[in-house]
Amino acid sequence: METLKFSADAQLASRLDAVIDDALARAQIVGTVMLVARCGTVVYQRAAGAADREAQRPMAVDTVFRYASLTKPIVSATALTLIENGQLGLEDPVTKWMPEFRPRLANGREPVITIRQLLTHTAGLSYGFSEPEDGPYHRTNVSDGMDQPGLGFDENLRRLASVPLVFAPGTAWNYSLATDVLGKVIERASGMALPEKVARTVTEPLKMRDTAFIARDPARLAVPYASGTPQPVRMSDPHPAPFPPSAIVYSPSRILDARSYPSGGTGMAGTASDFLTFLEALRRGGEGLLRPTTVRMMTSNAIGDMPMLMGPGWGFGLGVAVLKDPVAANVPQGVGTWRWGGVYGHHWFVDPKHELSVVVLTNTALVGMIGEFPDALGRALYAGVGTL
């Protein structure tokens, strides 16, 4: 893929800088890297605040972040290459590749789960942070992919399969460990370990040199923080962050522990520029990674009118949320925008209508992902989108 060009936009920079400066001054966030590309040209780039507040290490454009759910579209794209090559089928039952993975409904019935349902989060699975503290995922000690350093892949999937499904596959949408299951399917279908397959398929061809399931340069890794008063608190290990109805449990050391299973949903680390490279490759039709028809399928709504996490106006494709109705969603992006975030404090989106790709990585959970800060950045960006 060609290197992204850079052409600064002074008016855009002024608006976005004001939002970032305000968030830093009010101690909403500790540090951030933001990149905006328009028509394949980077029109805004900034690293601000601290990568390590206590050591007074400033944020840099090449700071490495724990990606959390930025991992999902990368792993989903890897699965889609196997589908293009005929090594995997969208309608394949998961048991074709994982005969041992047979979760049941509460009534004891064992339904079929397909690869499509894993990609669309309609498989009937869930996350521990989505249930009360005494829920079955907690009782069985299922990892959400960001905690329990050293936990093995097969053991976590065994625990997951022992918990009843929350609904019959294909009947509803629920954010879940489905992409972790997909990661094991990729291993079985390709005959490679997930980190190796992702590297050969996505990160190496796109020259995403800092993106992997283990942080390659720990010295450049951002220290993670969680919301606190009067300022964000440095994460402990483990660190439970309240997230009703329970909590998200972070183990920052996991990204340095090679024994930890490669979580297809949350397990990678990388830079903002690496992730922008990935988004731009998809926005421009796949660029050798995927066929244009596959990219369109990935970034088109595949769940009909099923309610999903982001509320009215949003659907979900094969690994990304898809904007159906900007008015209902109350967002400035164009119809067909696709996006997601990461619970370590990130958000990103691609707006094909305006040929925009935006990556905002912070080291502050969860304010970098949802709420006032990302909303303010969106307003500042689209205040002049017609002149970008």
Catalytic center residues: 69
Taking the C-alpha atoms of residue 229 and residue 72, their distance in angstroms, rounded to an integer, is 31
Which residues 6+ apart lie within 8 Å of 388 measured at CB?
Answer: 9, 12, 38, 43, 354, 356
- Peptide bond preceding 230: is omega within 30 degrees of 0, i.e. cis? yes
The closest alpha carbon to 18, from 44, 54, 56, belongs to 44
Give the burial class of 44: count Cβ atoms within 10 A of its Cβ; 0-12 exposed, 13-18 middle, 19 or more buried: buried
Helices (H) and strands (E) in the chain, counts: 12, 16
Q: Which residues 6+ apart lie within 8 Å of 270 measured at CB?
A: 64, 65, 67, 70, 208, 210, 211, 212
Q: How far is residue 51 from each of residues 16, 366, 373, measured CA to CA in Å?
A: 19, 16, 18
User: Residues 275, 358: contact at Cβ < 8 Å?
Assistant: no
Per the structure block, which two tokens stand in for 42?
A: 């980077």
Distance (Å, rounded) from C-alpha 30 to C-alpha 58? 10
Helical ranges in 62-218 per DSSP H:
71-84, 94-97, 115-120, 136-139, 153-161, 178-190, 194-198
Half-sphere exposure of 280 (CA within 13 A, CB side): 24
Q: Are 345 and 369 in contact (CB under 8 A)?
A: yes
Distance CA 96, CA 304 (A): 27
Distances, alpha carbon 124 to alpha carbons 142, 172, 202, 310, in Å: 15, 7, 28, 18
DSSP reduced 3-state for 93:
strand
- Using alpha carbons only, what angle is made at residue 152 by residues 216 and 279, rounded to the nearest 5 degrees? 45
